[in-house]
C-alpha cells in the first residue's frame, strides 16, 4: 500500500510534487482550484502539461489524486446551485485529467432531508452528464470519479455503503465511477473497525455493496469525534477517538493493499507532516504484521 497525503499546490502545481517529496509521500492529493470558492481552475495548458510530464517521470511520488471543491452539491434542490455544482465538477474532471491524475474524489452533496430516493435520479444524471461533457472537452475518457463515503452529517448523500451502491447502480454501474473510503467518515457514520473481526466485516460489507475493484483510494484519518457522531472532524493519527490499533486493523486488511492511503490530518495546522506519513507507515506495518501472525 502506498502512503501519501493531501498537499498544497500554492505557488504552482509542481510545488505539490516537491511538498510530497519533503514529507516522504508515495502519492499526493491536491485541489486544482480553491476548495471553498466557485472560481474555476486557472492553470495554463502549459502548467497542466508540465505537471503531467513531471508526475509520469517522478521517481518517488507514484500518483496524484485531486479532490473536487467542497461547494459541489449534486443533490441540491436550488437550480442555480445545482447548475454551478455540475459545471464545477466538469471543470475539476478536465483539470485533473489534464495533469494525469488517478482520480477525482467527490463529496456528492446533501439532500437536506429529502431522502436519497428523492434525489437519486438527479445525482445519477449529474454524474453521467459531467463525465460525458468532460470527455467531450478532453477528446478522451476522463480520469475516474471517486465517490467518497460521508460522515452522516445532516442529509449528506453517501453516508453508507448502501447509498454509494445505490448511486452507482442507478448509473448502470458506470465503469468511470469508483469510491474513496475515508476512515474518519466511516467511524463517524457508526461503523466499528476496532478489531480484526470488525474490520473484516466492514471490508466485506464494502465489497458486497460496491465491490473492492471500485475502491481506488483511502483517506487515512483519525477522528475528533466519537463513533457514530455523524460529524466530519479529522484528527492526527493516534490523537483521536479511533486510535492507531483500530486503524491498523483496517488498513492492514489484505484486500485493501491495492488502494493508496492518503492523510488529510491537521498536522500542526498546515496539514500532514513528515512525521504523520511516518506514523501512517508504522500503523500499516502493524496491521500487516497482525494479520501475518
Task: Give the mean pLDDT of 277-293.
Answer: 95
Q: Does residue 1 contact residue 257 with C-beta atoms inside 8 Å?
A: yes
What pLDDT sits at residue 109?
97
C-alpha cell at 71: 461547494
Question: Residue by residue, what is the 3-state secondary structure of 107-174?
Answer: CCCECCCCCHHHHHHHHHHHHHHHHHHHHHHHCCCCCCEEEECCCCCCCECCCCHHHHHHHHHHCCCC
| Mean pLDDT, residues 266-272 taken together | 97
- Which pLDDT does position 40 carry in this prediction? 82
CA distance 41 to 163: 30
CATH 3.30.43.10 assigned to domain 3-292? The reply is no
- Please determine, for residue 36, whether its predicted confidence score (pLDDT) is greater than 90: no
d(CA 100, CA 95): 9
**DSSP secondary structure letter of residue 271:** B
- Reference 28, options 1, 55, 57, 59; nearest CA is 55
The pTM is what? 0.97
Q: 104, 130 in Cβ contact below 8 A?
A: no
Instruction: Record the cell numbers describing residue 292, joined without a space.
Output: 501475518
pLDDT tens, residue by residue, 206-237: 999 999 999 999 999 999 999 999 999 999 99
Q: What are phi and psi of 34, to 5 degrees?
A: -60, 130
What's the pLDDT tens digit per position in 144-165?
A: 999 999 999 889 999 999 999 9
- For the chain, which residues make up each domain, given as ranges? 3-292
- In the predicted model, is pLDDT for residue 139 greater than 90? yes
pLDDT at 41: 84
Helix axes 243-251, 274-292, angle to 10 degrees: 60
What pLDDT, on the 0 to 100 scale, is given for residue 105? 98
C-beta contacts of 155-158 below 8 A and 24+ residues apart: 155/75, 155/110, 155/111, 155/112, 155/113, 155/114, 155/115, 156/107, 156/108, 156/109, 156/110, 157/74, 157/75, 157/108, 157/109, 157/110, 157/111, 157/116, 157/119, 157/123, 158/107, 158/108
CA distance 78 to 282: 46
Kind of pairing between the strands at 261-263 and 145-148: unpaired
Longest dimension (CA), the chain: 55
**pLDDT higher than threshold 80 for residue 18:** yes
Band (251; pLDDT cuts 50, 70, 90): very high
Query: Which pLDDT score is estimated for 37?
Result: 80
Q: Which residues contact 144 (CB under 8 A, 6 or more apart)?
A: 102, 103, 104, 176, 177, 178, 216
- How much is the pLDDT for 176? 98
- Residue the block writes with cell 463513533: 227
Return d(Cα 147, Cα 157) in angstroms, integer.
Answer: 10
Q: Write out pLDDT tens, residues 61-111.
A: 999 999 999 999 999 999 999 999 999 999 999 999 999 999 999 999 999
Q: Is the pLDDT of residue 38 over 90?
A: no
Bigger pLDDT: 40 vs 67: 67
Residues in Cβ contact with 212 at an 8 Å cutoff, skipping those fewer than 6 apart: 203, 206, 255, 256
For residues 164 and 209, is the Cβ–Cβ distance under 8 A?
A: yes
The CA distances from residue 47 to 42, 90, 95, 135, 208, in Å, are: 10, 19, 11, 20, 41
First-residue to last-residue Cα distance in the chain: 19
Amino acid at each position: 500500500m502506498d502512503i501519501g497525503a493531501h498537499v498544497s499546490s500554492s505557488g504552482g502545481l509542481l510545488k505539490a510534487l516537491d511538498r510530497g517529496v519533503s514529507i516522504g509521500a508515495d502519492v499526493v492529493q491536491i485541489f486544482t482550484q480553491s476548495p471553498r470558492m466557485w472560481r474555476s481552475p486557472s492553470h495554463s495548458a502549459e502548467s497542466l502539461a508540465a505537471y503531467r510530464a513531471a508526475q509520469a517521470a517522478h521517481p518517488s511520488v507514484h500518483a496524484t489524486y485531486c479532490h473536487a471543491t467542497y461547494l459541489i452539491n449534486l443533490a441540491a434542490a436550488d437550480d442555480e446551485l445545482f447548475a454551478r455544482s455540475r459545471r464545477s465538477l466538469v471543470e475539476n474532471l478536465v483539470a485533473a485529467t489534464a495533469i494525469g491524475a488517478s482520480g477525482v474524489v467527490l463529496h456528492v452533496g446533501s439532500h437536506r432531508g429529502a431522502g436519497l430516493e428523492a434525489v437519486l435520479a438527479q445525482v445519477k444524471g449529474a454524474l453521467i452528464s459531467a463525465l460525458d461533457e468532460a470527455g467531450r472537452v478532453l477528446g478522451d475518457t476522463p480520469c475516474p470519479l471517486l465517490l467518497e463515503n460521508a460522515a452522516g452529517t445532516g442529509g449528506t448523500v453517501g453516508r453508507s455503503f448502501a447509498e454509494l451502491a445505490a448511486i452507482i447502480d442507478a448509473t448502470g454501474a458506470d465503469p468511470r465511477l469508483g469510491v474513496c473510503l475515508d476512515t474518519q467518515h466511516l467511524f463517524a457514520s457508526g461503523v466499528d473497525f476496532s478489531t480484526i473481526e470488525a474490520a473484516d466485516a466492514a471490508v466485506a460489507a464494502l465489497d458486497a455493496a460496491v465491490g473492492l475493484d471500485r475502491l481506488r483510494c483511502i483517506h487515512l484519518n483519525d477522528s475528533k469525534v466519537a463513533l457514530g457522531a455523524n460529524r466530519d472532524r479529522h484528527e492526527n493519527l493516534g490523537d483521536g477517538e479511533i486510535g492507531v490499533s483500530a486503524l491498523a486493523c483496517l488498513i492492514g486488511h489484505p484486500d485493501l493493499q491495492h488502494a493508496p492511503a492518503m492523510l488529510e490530518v491537521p498536522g500542526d495546522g498546515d496539514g500532514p507532516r513528515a512525521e504523520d506519513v511516518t506514523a501512517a507507515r508504522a500503523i500499516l506495518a502493524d496491521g500487516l504484521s497482525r494479520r501475518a501472525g
